[in-house]
Amino acid sequence: MVAAISLRIPMILRLKLDFLNSFNNSGWFNATDFLVRIKDKRLLLVGDSMNRNQFESLLCLLCEGLPDKSKMYEVHGYKITKGRGFYIFKFMDFNCTIEYVRSHFLVREGTRINGQGNSNPTLSIDKIDKTAKRWKQADILVFNTGHWWTHGKTSRGKNYYKKGDYVYPKFDAVEAYRKALKTWGEWIDKNLDPERQLVFYRAYSSAHFRGGDWDSGGSCNGETEPILSGTFLDNYPIKMKIVEEVIQHMKVPVILLNVTRLTNFRKDGHPSVYGKMRIKGMKVSTRKQDCSHWCLPGVPDAWNELIYATLVYQQSAAMNQVH
């Protein structure tokens, strides 16, 4: 969990985060009511580490609705780490689970043997991810992908993208993303039941690196205020236009949690140099910074509040139809 308050973050930020935490607990988000609404259900988040960030946020929020915190536990005894890609947290009193499955691309990662006998990674943009068998069992699903669709993460498109048995010598990442999202949409339409299952797609979350990227010296330390004006606030990635296009043509209704512009503002919300626990007095290095994930409590709490608002609205609308 990226819990900024516990990481010796500067006092001015700590006070702001404490205020945000008190706002989240002010009453309109009711953790107990959320748990009642998902009683006997499985809520599954599927995606990259940004969805793990949201998963951790949801666990923290819902834990506040439990008088006895021991009634929430990971069924295999796992602790949340970057290395593990599957978790199931059980809430005993409500017979519900909050689960996470790692799937960087939502389509199938694989390997191929090149001419030198070495193993190289591939991505089959026409095949759904191997974890999809777990998706079918969930009642509420929250998907995301996007942050791994950069040239650095995808071998710059050379001998990486695959369709059937054919590996493209060179293929554009944006077009690959489009084809992969269509594969995901077709799988949803074929395998999920809109009468029983509720599907969300959580939109691309903005990063705020200065002077580079995550792997090239980018930074965001020292940011204490949101962006309130400027062209960055109008940023809307082509990936999001593709997501909207795919969802519009799907048979199964997908609720788009469009948090992209919301996150554009929050350059002050990332762990930056405070993403790891440090012993008191240890010097904080600014060489490698996290300006894409989010502190908790923080921005992902708002994404989960949108899910809660959707549950309240849909269940209220259903009751009104009955009457």
Per-residue DSSP letters for 43-112?
EEEEESHHHHHHHHHHHHHHHTT-SSGGGEEETT-PPP-SS--EEEEEEGGGTEEEEEEE-SSSEEEEEE
At residue 59's C-alpha, the angle toward residues 55 and 62, to 5°, is 135
- Spatial separation of the C-alpha atoms in residues 88 and 215, rounded to whole Å: 31
CA angle 266–18–39, rounded 5-degree value: 85
Spell out the residues 6+ positions from residue 238 whose beta carbon is closer than 8 angstroms to its own. 174
Residues with catalytic function: 49, 290, 293
Q: Which value, in Å, is the radius of gyration of the alpha carbons in the chain?
A: 20
CA atoms within 13 A on the CB side of 81: 5
DSSP string of 140-186, one letter each residue? EEEE---TT-STTTTGGGBS-EEETTEEPSB--HHHHHHHHHHHHHH
Nearest to 286, CA basis, from 220, 211, 224, 213: 220
Amino acid in position 144:
N
Alpha carbon 85 to chain centroid distance?
Answer: 13
